[in-house]
Amino acid sequence: MYFYKFRTLNKNSLSGLANRELWFDKLINQNDPFEGGCIIDSSLSTSLQLYAQSQIGLNHITHNTDLFKLTSVHHPEKLSPTELLVEFGKRCASDLIQRIREESLICSFSYFDEGDIDDPLFNTHMWGHYSDGLRGFCLVFDEESLSEDIFNNSGKLAKGFHVEYQNRPKSINISELLKVDNSVLKLSNELEGANLVARISTTKSEDWAREKEVRFISFSKNHLLNFKQTSLLKIVIGEK
């Protein structure tokens, strides 16, 4: 498999090529309107409903001070225990989504595998949108070698995902996020790490499907990551 990186001809792109560096930008700076968005499903599992009824009544208010504060509900006594837990779950989910959007860094490529019909390298949309109308160039990478470079040079804090194209953001269910362990409410590990990042960061609208995008998501603090010279197979120059 090959990864393509279409570039406009400018000082930054030439510097990156000379230094064998790839730029990772913030997720919030990407080009799809619902980039990094996620629908919060507020339905509760049976165990969470039972927890709400037994542990989040007014009789337990002194034991749930943090929970009441985090919901930002001004008059929690007006909500039922279940409604209050839902508000808490929605707030947790929103905070996680916002943190992912602010902290994750993205570097995107198009991909082509032997046997594929559509090759982005011959797609005029890609050259027009990302390479200044055939005035730029395209870097062609070996998929396995580049993936290894990014993983290692990010301190093992980056991973590649194929983008899914659909016209509705994916969802996070509160019941996936919260769990009850020995009558104690905890954040679940189910949506930690790659699962959560992929859920939020690898969905784009169908308008972009022709790009065949694979994106590397990094939680390294470094915006620039190096690649080996042998990872770059060739450079394709635009016709103009």
Judging by beta carbons within 10 Å of its beta carbon (0-12, 13-18, 19+), is residue 58 exposed, middle or buried?
exposed
pLDDT digits (tens, 9 = 90+) for 13-68: 999 999 999 999 987 777 666 666 778 888 888 888 888 877 775 555 444 555 55
Q: What is the pLDDT of residue 191?
A: 46
Region class of 146: left (phi > 0), else alpha (psi between -120 and 50), else beta: alpha
Block residue for tokens 């998501």: 217
Q: Are strands 171-173 and 39-41 parallel, antiparallel or unpaired?
A: parallel
Q: What is the pLDDT of residue 89?
A: 83
Q: What is the pLDDT of residue 188?
A: 66
Q: What is the pLDDT of residue 57?
A: 58
pLDDT digits (tens, 9 = 90+) for 112-150: 988 888 899 999 999 998 999 999 999 999 999 999 999
Q: Which residue has the higher pLDDT, 186 or 134?
A: 134
Q: What is the pLDDT of residue 3?
A: 97
Q: Which residue has the higher pLDDT, 232 or 197?
A: 232
The pTM of the full predicted model, rounded to 2 decimals, is 0.78
pLDDT digits (tens, 9 = 90+) for 218-228: 888 899 999 99
- Tell me the two tokens of residue 41: 């499903």
Q: What is the pLDDT of residue 207?
A: 85
Q: How far apart are CA 132 and CA 24, in angstroms?
A: 20
β-partners of residue 225 are 22
Looking at the chain, the whole-number percentage of residues with pLDDT higher than 90 is 35
pLDDT surpasses 60 at 201: yes
Mean confidence (pLDDT) of the chain: 83
Task: Provide the pLDDT confidence category of residue 194 given band limits of 50, 70 and 90.
Answer: low
